[in-house]
Amino acid sequence: MIDLRSDTVTKPTPAMRRAMAEAEVGDDVYGEDPTVNFLEAMVAERLGKEAALFVPSGTMGNLISVLSHCGRGDEMILGDQSHIFHYEQGGSAAVGGVHPRILPNRGDGTLDLAQIEEAIRGDNEHYPVTRLIALENTHNRCGGAVLTPAYIDSVGALAQAHGLKLHIDGARLWNAAVALGESPARLVAAADSVSVCFSKGLAAPVGSAVAGSHEFIRKARRMRKQVGGGMRQAGVLAAAAVVALEQMVDRLAEDHANAAQLAHGLAAINGIALDPNTVSTNIVYFDVTKPGWTAAKLSAALAEQGVLANATGAQRLRAVTNYHITGDDIRRVIAVVAEALDRQH
Ligand code: TLP
């Protein structure tokens, strides 16, 4: 199987498995797991923040960040294509009572600054209180688009001018950093909190982290406990995340090159539509435009040939390159898509 459903499907490397087997552990709810403590210090340093906290998933990292910044009835401004809005079970509303104020994401993953400013509530007894702006980098549903430091800084300045907090969902921040040739810390300099994942392109089996000020992490730690994310001998998981950060970040460039190759190959197929110039990291969205075809039909036809790609809309599919995908796999995928569309008229 050539599995392009996500980079979440990556399996731990031999080095990770060794590190997991040998990890020193303790009870992390007591703050006594040396491997978790080591990982958290490493993440804080890489992200240029005072402190970090290991959490089980990106979804929980985003949730506890929102819960740490906002109280019930407070409002958060975020994109209509954001992962927090689409794919997290409405957790910030369901668990935290946080009101989402949705703005349209532009194709490049950004929100319009003027629209953000206009959405910030004034002091009026009719309105909820705006507390938070959330960005996503890279932007999943915007095709893995990368937000630049200049853009993020401008949103940060706006947030600060209005006394708001800025959270960045950086599940794939490492991809953004590699694509831009920037440090991850530079990309989140303006953020009050950031969540990052080890279990996507970096191939660790489990785990994410949030980072921010000591004060933010103190609250986030309580929120993690509240939602049941306090883990005990979590060092076995953190050990794999340490290896992920040490060994797996730079190689993301290979995933990006494979995605670019895939996008160019697909764009040349009759009955497929995408603009390969919009692909800058490891996510490729493409539309099947051949009459009589839907995304679900193409996804099923590809699966029969050993290629997995999710249908994400009526005509749209997503392919995500990852650690297990080679250049040969990409050539095979392009051929399989072309054959599938060619075979059935
Ligand atoms: N995204 C998954 C699915 O949930 C869609 C994927 O396959 O891409 N933020 C962003 C931007 C994400 O893409 C994801 C996972 C998360 C947060 C959540 O991470 P987990 O799965 O660890 O909860």
All domains of the chain, ordered by start, with CATH? 12-247 (3.40.640.10), 251-342 (3.90.1150.10)
Instruction: Indicate which residue's Cα is closest to atom 8 of ligand 1.
Output: 6
- What per-residue confidence (pLDDT) applies to 255? 98
Distance CA 104, CA 102 (A): 7
Any atom of ligand 1 within 6 Å of the Cβ of 33? no
- Look at residues 30, 27, 31 and name the one whose alpha carbon lies nearest to residue 41: 31
**Which of 7, 10, 59, 310 to mutate to test ligand 1, by most ligand atoms within 8 A of the CB atom?**
59
- Look at residues 209, 118, 206, 205 and name the one whose alpha carbon lies nearest to residue 158: 118
Any atom of ligand 1 within 6 Å of the Cβ of 261? no
- Look at residues 212, 203, 139, 211 and name the one whose alpha carbon lies nearest to residue 171: 139
Amino acid at 300: A
State the closest ligand 1 atom to the C-alpha of 62, by its place in the atom list counted from 1: 17
String of DSSP letters for 70-136: --TT-EEEEETT-HHHHHSTTHHHHTT-PEEEEEPPPTTS---HHHHHHHS--S-TTSPPEEEEEEE
- Between the CA of 34 and the centroid of ligand 1 the distance, in Å, is 27
- Look at residues 66, 122, 125 and name the one whose alpha carbon lies nearest to residue 99: 66
- Look at residues 99, 37, 70, 63 and name the one whose alpha carbon lies nearest to residue 226: 63
Across the chain, which has 345 residues, the per-10-residue mean pLDDT values are: 98 98 98 98 98 98 98 98 98 98 98 98 96 98 98 98 98 98 98 98 98 98 98 98 98 98 98 97 98 97 98 98 98 98 75
Output the CA torsion 225→218→243→13 (10° steps).
Answer: 20
Asked whether 281 and 256 are in contact (CB, 8 A), the reply is: yes
Residue 216 tokens, joined: 């933010």
- What per-residue confidence (pLDDT) applies to 281? 98
Any atom of ligand 1 within 6 Å of the Cβ of 81? no
- What per-residue confidence (pLDDT) applies to 174? 98
Any atom of ligand 1 within 6 Å of the Cβ of 58? yes
String of DSSP letters for 255-277: HHHHHHHHHHHHHTSTTEE--GG
Distance CA 17, CA 236 (A): 9
Residue listed under structure tokens 């095709």 = 143
State the closest ligand 1 atom to the C-alpha of 208, by its place in the atom list counted from 1: 22
- What per-residue confidence (pLDDT) applies to 343? 80
- What per-residue confidence (pLDDT) applies to 344? 60
